[in-house]
């Protein structure tokens, strides 16, 4: 496995038999996009408060703070050669390790709801983000706005 960085993107690759068998690109969009934790369901809020107390004794998680930007690393793009899913799993685990060491709260990837890789990513401990999207540059173009609103639904897996 190898990691390189190019203009804010970190590329991880896995090789076998002198060829690339899997790759993924990581990007931190914190400079241009921020997600802020504003509330949690009661049960999750209780769990987070317990984890905060445990975290003081033994650092096990990078927990998000309320009303603060979440530090999220995104898997921008990934690929693997058929039959080399294990190599992609290794890269995902390497990305998770990088995120933990660099104090990111989450590693996130967006997957189309009908993509066969949904089952691949659902094996990881994760949750789905529900977020609002804003379109700033489509004023007075109702057709484009409507097309975007009827667009393709994605699942956003935030791996823990």
* DSSP SS3 for 106: strand
**Domains of the chain (ranges, CATH numbers):** 2-35+70-159 (3.40.630.30)
Query: H or E element: which one contains 16?
Result: strand 9-16
How large a percentage of the chain has pLDDT more than 70? 74
Tokens of 81: 């050669």
**Residue 134 scores a pLDDT above 80:** no
**Residue 3 scores a pLDDT above 70:** no
Q: What pTM does this model have?
A: 0.69
């Amino acid at each position: 496995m190898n990691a390189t960085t190019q203009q804010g993107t970190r590329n991880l690759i896995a090789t076998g038999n002198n060829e690339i068998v899997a790759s993924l690109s990581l990007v931190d969009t914190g400079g241009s996009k921020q997600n802020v934790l504003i509330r949690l369901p009661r049960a999750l809020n209780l769990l987070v408060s317990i984890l905060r107390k445990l975290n003081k004794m033994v650092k096990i998680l990078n927990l998000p703070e309320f009303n603060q930007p979440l530090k999220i690393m995104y898997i921008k793009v990934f690929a693997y050669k058929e039959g080399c899913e294990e190599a992609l799993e290794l890269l995902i685990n390497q990305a998770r390790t990088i995120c933990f060491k660099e104090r990111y709260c989450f590693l996130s990837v967006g997957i189309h709801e009908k993509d066969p890789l949904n089952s691949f990513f659902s094996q990881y401990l994760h949750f789905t983000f529900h977020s609002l999207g804003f379109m700033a540059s489509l004023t007075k173009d109702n057709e484009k706005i409507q097309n975007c609103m009827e667009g393709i639904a994605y699942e956003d897996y935030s791996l823990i």
